[in-house]
């Protein structure tokens, strides 16, 4: 669990500025040509964790067993922590004076850059866990690659997040195996969840101009390069879980990365952004 900010500290802003001043120099932050793509890509990272964190946090107090309540809240907490780092850096790269909170709470759906997979409703624990696992497996490979990023700021965030995401993947893999190879009903539900989510997975590996630009700048891997390792993890876990990967297309639904979303995102934002929208300029 990330440590919480010390609330007795009077000036959090001053602290943040001091922390920023002590950051390693990163020439990518001054590259004006790269800026729009870099900003967009950072929003993708931060929006993924924000939207998945939101969905997982919906379970708070409603989990099937107390240990699960705790684990889900902890996962959501980690993801919100990652959001603060990614969107914080995005705001810095943009250089327009916006903050991570401005990006999270004051952008509309067409400016959100998360994968469509992550905004789908939770439905039951089977869909919730299967989605988390399929994303964790990608997230783990992505962050592992980013630890070697030529942007020291990106590498630093990735290294912090990777510790937690390694644990997320360990936990979700374990549950997929146990529920897939559990009772008849748990097996059926896990298989249904996999079938339902399958057509959304391809989006993780599709490359567009933004991905290309950050890859060429040495910031991030090419999306397609993550696919082999992701498939290996997923296949191993599914096999042990006695679940079958559908032989249908994985790339049916996509567009989230470019701001084209499902109907569900608008409702997430309506809820998430309510206070900031209803009381503009208030401080909380």
Partner 1 sequence: MYAQMVKSEGMKSAEEMTPEERAFQNRIDRNEKIEPKEWMPEGYRKTLIRQIGQHAHSEIVGQLPEGNWITRAPTLERKAILLAKVQDEAGHGLYLYSAAETLGVSRDELMEKLHSGAMKYSSIFNYPTLTWADMGAVGWLVDGAAIMNQVPLQRTSYGPYSRAMIRICKEESFHQRQGYAIMMKMAQGTPEQKEMAQDALNRFWYPALMMFGPSDKDSVHSAQSMAWKIKMNTNDELRQKFVDETVPQAEYLGLTVPDETLRWNEERGHYDFAEPDWNEFFEVIKGNGPCNRERLEARRTAWEEGRWFREGLMAYAEKSAARRKAAPHAAE
Question: Under the rule (CB under 8 A), what is the footprint of partner 1?
Answer: 1-2, 4-5, 7-8, 50, 54, 57-58, 60-70, 73-74, 76-77, 80-81, 83-84, 87, 100-101, 104-105, 124-125, 177-179, 181-183, 185-187, 189, 271-272, 274-276, 279, 281-284
Token pair in block for residue 212: 């290309």
Residue 68 interacting partner from Fe ion, partner 1, none (CB closer than 5 to 8 Å by kind): partner 1
Residue with tokens 């939207």: 51
**Residue 66 is a binding residue for Fe ion (CB under 5 A):** no
Task: Choose which of 47, 78, 136, 141 interacts with Fe ion (CB under 5 A).
Answer: 78
Say how many residues make up the chain.
284
Residue 66 C-beta: closest distance to partner 1, Å: 5
Taking Cα atoms as reference points, which of 47, 105, 77 lies closest to residue 280? Answer: 105
Using rule CB under 5 A, residue 47 touches Fe ion: no
Nearer to partner 1, 74 or 166 (CB): 74
Give me the least distance between CB of 71 and Fe ion, in Å please: 10
Q: Which is nearer to partner 1, 18 or 178 (CB)?
A: 178
Complete DSSP assignment for 132-153: HHHHHHHHHHHHHHHTT-SSHH
Burial 136-160 (b: 16+ CB within 10 A, else e): bbbbbbbbbbbeebebebbbbbbeb
User: CA-to-CA distance for 81 and 271, rounded, in angstroms?
Assistant: 19
Give every CB contact of residue 122 below 8 A, 6+ residues apart in sequence: 55, 56, 58, 59, 128
Binding-site partner at residue 143 among Fe ion, partner 1, none, CB < 5 to 8 Å by type = none
1 binds Fe ion per the rule CB under 5 A: yes
Among partner 1, Fe ion, none, the one that 182 touches (CB under a kind-dependent 5 to 8 A) is partner 1
Nearest to Fe ion by Cβ — which residue? Answer: 1
């Amino acid at each position: 669990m990330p440590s919480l900010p010390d609330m007795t500290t009077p000036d959090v802003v001053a602290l943040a500025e001091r922390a920023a001043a002590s950051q390693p120099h990163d020439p990518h932050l001054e590259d004006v040509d790269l800026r729009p793509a870099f900003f967009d890509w950072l929003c993708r990272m931060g929006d993924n964790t924000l939207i998945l964190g939101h969905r997982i946090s919906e379970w708070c107090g409603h989990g099937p067993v107390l240990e699960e309540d705790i684990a889900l809240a902890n996962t959501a907490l980690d993801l919100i922590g990652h959001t603060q780092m990614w969107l914080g850096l995005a705001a810095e790269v943009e250089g327009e004076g916006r903050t991570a909170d401005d990006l999270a709470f004051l952008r509309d759906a067409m400016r959100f850059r998360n994968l469509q997979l992550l905004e789908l409703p939770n439905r039951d624990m089977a869909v919730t866990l299967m989605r988390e696992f399929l994303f964790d497996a990608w997230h783990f490979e992505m962050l592992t690659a980013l630890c070697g990023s030529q942007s020291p700021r990106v590498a630093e965030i990735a290294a912090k997040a990777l510790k937690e995401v390694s644990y997320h993947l360990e936990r979700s893999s374990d549950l997929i195996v146990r529920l897939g190879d559990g009772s008849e009903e748990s097996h059926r539900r896990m298989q249904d969840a996999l079938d339902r989510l399958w057509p959304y997975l391809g989006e993780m590996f599709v490359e567009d101009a933004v991905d290309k630009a950050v890859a060429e700048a040495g910031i991030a891997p090419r999306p397609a390069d993550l696919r082999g390792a992701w498939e290996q993890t997923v296949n191993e876990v599914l096999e042990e879980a006695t679940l079958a990967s559908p032989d249908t297309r994985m790339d049916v639904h996509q567009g989230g990365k470019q701001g084209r979303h499902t109907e569900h995102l608008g409702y997430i934002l309506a809820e998430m952004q309510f206070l900031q929208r209803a009381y503009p300029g208030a401080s909380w």
